Amino acid sequence: MLGVMTTRDAQRLAEQQGFDLVEISPNADPPVCKIMDFGKFRYEESIKRKQARKSQIRQQIKEVKFHASVDEHDLQTKMRHIREFLAEGDKVKVTLQYRGRENAHKELGMEVVTRVIKELDAIAIVEQQPRLLGRLLGCLLAPRPVKPGSKPANPAQSSAPRPATPAPVKPAPAPAAPAPATPAPATPAPAAPAPVAPASAVVPQPPPESTTMP
């Protein structure tokens, strides 16, 4: 902050630094100015505006028309289109037109519109209640705001039934360990034969010599 100075001195100081003198608060006393690169500032501001336009949700109003004598298949098809429009963030104008003899039975058209509102209650809110204008009965639906911290509901998944959760499978008991085998009794080894002593050799003795005395 440079303090209070004349405009000429502030311009000279900005030129010395190679920047521009930009007035920020013209209604202040004295006016507040800032030394900056004005070209770079304008470029950054344009980038911010482009990003803001990209992130901005453009909400439109789509119209879906019904008749009091609508059949079930056509009704479900139109309901699917309404769910798609609401999921994209658009508002939906539900219009029902009476034709011919249907003008004598206004309650039939009211039943159709009431059914549409009731089936879409989870994802839509009624901004304009059903109102009869001549031969037209209409109301305005808007996407239901998502609470912080909660996941947005998918209309395709909400209408489909949830698959049944399979029951947990209990693990099969482990097989019992086999009992240790009983060792067979040891068979005694056959005794070795006793050694036979060799027969003593008999040496024949020579006959005694006869001595003749003279």
135's CB contacts (< 8 A; 6+ apart) are 97, 98, 99, 103
Which DSSP state fits 105? -
CB-CB contact of 11 with 21 (8 Å): yes
User: How many CB atoms lie under 10 A from the CB of residue 109?
Assistant: 24
Q: Is 70 exposed, middle or buried (0-12, 13-18, 19+ CB in 10 A)?
A: middle
- For the cut 80, the answer to whether the pLDDT of residue 166 exceeds it is no
- For the cut 90, the answer to whether the pLDDT of residue 83 exceeds it is yes
The 10s digit of each residue's pLDDT in 36-51 is 888 888 899 999 888 8
**Domains of the chain: residue spans and CATH:** 7-55 (3.10.20.80), 61-146 (3.30.110.10)
- Residue 36 to residue 39: CA distance in whole angstroms: 9
Of 7-11, 88-92, 165-169, give the lowest mean pLDDT range. 165-169
What letters, b where the CB count within 10 A reaches 16 and e where it falls short, cover 165-193? eeeeeeeeeeeeeeeeeeeeeeeeeeeee
| pLDDT score of 115 | 92
| pLDDT score of 92 | 93
Crossing angle for the helix pair 72-87 and 106-119, to the nearest 10 degrees: 50
| pLDDT score of 199 | 46
Mean pLDDT of the chain: 76
Q: Would you mind telling me the total number of residues written for the chain in this entry?
A: 214
The 10s digit of each residue's pLDDT in 96-140 is 999 888 888 888 889 999 999 999 999 999 999 999 888 899 999
Which DSSP state fits 117? H
